[in-house]
Amino acid sequence: MTTSTAVVSSLAEQLMQKLEQKTAVIGVVGLGYVGLPLAVEKAKAGFNVIGFDVQASKVDMVNEGVNYIGDVVDDDLREIVQKRKLRATSDYSFINEVDAVAICVPTPLDAYQQPDTSYVESSAREVAKYLHPGMLIVLESTTYPGTTEELLKPILEESGLVCGQDFFLAYSPERVDPGNKHFNTKNTPKVVGGVTPDCTKVAASMYRSVLEGEVHEVSSPAVAELEKIYENTFRHINIALANEMAILCNKMGIDVWEMIDAAKTKPYGFMAFYPGPGLGGHCIPIDPFYLTWKAREYNYHTRLIELAGEINNSMPEFVTERAANLLNKEGKPLRGSTVYLLGVAYKKDINDIRESPVLHIIDILEEKGANIVYSDPHIPSFKRRGKEYNAVELAQEQLEKADIVIVTTDHTAFDYDLIGRFAPAVLDTRNALKNAAKPKRYEIL
């Protein structure tokens, strides 16, 4: 654990005491995939927590103890709401009651692939209206290095209060990995970088009072902001490499999965990443481009990130081409064929379709005139380009009716033997049928 022994101001000391004794009231702004688990952990640790969200439906659900995030345990939420440890509101004036607030709002890209920091800005403006001396604000949304000091600090200081003196400001990236069975909000190490040493100390003490994982202090918000994007860029680039290998292996007649399994036996200097139908979720496809944008300010072109993005973005096209080739072997065109997609979530066992590559596969298949059927136990229905899609139950009859099945998401709930026995042809983009029965026509990515 990285800690310094510097003496802190009395305002910082008071807040740290409240945090240690769990008498501080904690606010969480944005009750989504990141914010709700965080609010629940803080309430479970003994704090009184107020959640803020602009979506009235989420506020109502939280106040009724109804869970809508996979990583939150239903009973945990119900219990802390019943005990009044957690309540939600859309009314920012409750910031008046809060000692420390974590901001967990979306940071997407805009139509020009540039950072859209409007959610961070608007929530900061609301917090600024009710900012009071001795308060801590931590930004947890993923963003480019400089956001906390260049964007957030000036907005908060419009209140007339001075950062590091009257209030404390830090950045601490969220690392939650939805669906991960071992690591969650509570046991994942946290990185914290404050605008001043006091800001770092106070923010770190908040996380230490809640989390089991290590709290690692860094010298500035920018270091913490960049390390988070570096983590996700590392995945982005390594997945692109695995995807490039899949494209090449297909040409060479080599099984890319077998090759990676072999490489994985090296006990050092190698970490396995796998190919797939493309990137998805609110993080990996987006975050590296926050850095690309910021780098331009320094007249630097992040070529590796751009190239990885090109490869990853080409995967839905590659998958549909492979499906068309497989159908062609049966003398069938894509137009008019029934393509049965297994999984629309961007990864296994979760209910998130944001940026899912399967949506791009659907767009291409629709353009080419295929009939689309899908199953996903986590996504009963969704809308895409104005059209509503409803899931069918995975069953022998559905499989037999399809011209081709594409395994797009390797959900645990799918019966892969059933798929292998009754689908006429399968394109498996996840190596999900590795240990299952295989149909006559079977190809992996």
Ligand X SMILES: NC(=O)c1ccc[n+]([C@@H]2O[C@H](COP(=O)([O-])OP(=O)(O)OC[C@H]3O[C@@H](n4cnc5c(N)ncnc54)[C@H](O)[C@@H]3O)[C@@H](O)[C@H]2O)c1
Q: How far is the CB of 123 from ligand X (least distance, A)?
A: 4
Q: How far is the CB of 258 from ligand X (least distance, A)?
A: 30
Q: Which is nearer to ligand X, 67 or 141 (CB)?
A: 141
What SS3 state is found at 72? coil
What SS3 state is found at 81? helix
Question: Is position 104 annotated as part of the catalytic site?
Answer: no
Helix axes 10-21, 197-208, angle to 10 degrees: 10
Q: How far is the CB of 370 from ligand X (least distance, A)?
A: 31
Determine whether 133 is exposed, middle or buried from the number of CB atoms within 10 Å of its CB (0-12, 13-18, 19+).
Answer: exposed
Q: Which is nearer to ligand X, 53 or 410 (CB)?
A: 53
Token couple for 379: 């996504």
Q: How far is the CB of 200 from ligand X (least distance, A)?
A: 20
Q: How far is the CB of 62 from ligand X (least distance, A)?
A: 10
- Give the separation between CA 177 and CA 183, rounded to whole angstroms: 7
Token couple for 378: 């986590």
- Give the separation between CA 278 and CA 317, rounded to whole angstroms: 9
Q: Which is nearer to ligand X, 12 or 283 (CB)?
A: 283
Token couple for 403: 């011209």
Look at phi and psi of residue 222 and say left if phi exceeds 0, alpha if psi is from -120 to 50, else beta.
Answer: alpha
Q: Which is nearer to ligand X, 106 or 276 (CB)?
A: 106
- Phi, psi for residue 89 in degrees, rounded to 5: -155, 160
Q: How far is the CB of 116 from ligand X (least distance, A)?
A: 10
Q: How far is the CB of 52 from ligand X (least distance, A)?
A: 5
Count of positions (residues) in the chain:
445
Which residue of the set 104, 199, 249, 283 is catalytic? 283
Q: Which residues bind ligand X (CB under 6 A)?
A: 29-35, 52-55, 58, 104-107, 119, 122-123, 141-142, 174-176, 178, 282-283
Q: Which is nearer to ligand X, 178 or 343 (CB)?
A: 178
Q: Which is nearer to ligand X, 13 or 177 (CB)?
A: 177
Q: Which is nearer to ligand X, 54 or 391 (CB)?
A: 54
Question: Are the C-beta atoms of residues 232 and 288 closer than 8 Å to each other?
Answer: yes
Give buried/exposed letters for 423-442 (b at 16+ CB in 10 A, else e): bbbbbbbbbbbeebebbebb
Q: Quick one: which of 371, 409, 407 has its CA closest to 387?
A: 371
Q: How far is the CB of 280 from ligand X (least distance, A)?
A: 11
Alpha carbon of 411 to those of 284, 362, 421: distances in Å? 20, 18, 18
Q: Which is nearer to ligand X, 25 or 54 (CB)?
A: 54
Residue linked to tokens 């200081």: 157
- Give the separation between CA 253 and CA 248, rounded to whole angstroms: 9
DSSP state of 163: B
Concatenate the DSSP letters of all residues of 181-249 into one string.
SS--TTTS-EEEEESSHHHHHHHHHHHHTT-SS-EEEES-HHHHHHHHHHHHHHHHHHHHHHHHHHHHH
Report which residue's Cβ sits closest to ligand X: 32
Q: Give the angle 384-388-389 at the CA atoms, nearest 5°.
A: 95
Q: Cite the active site residues.
A: 283
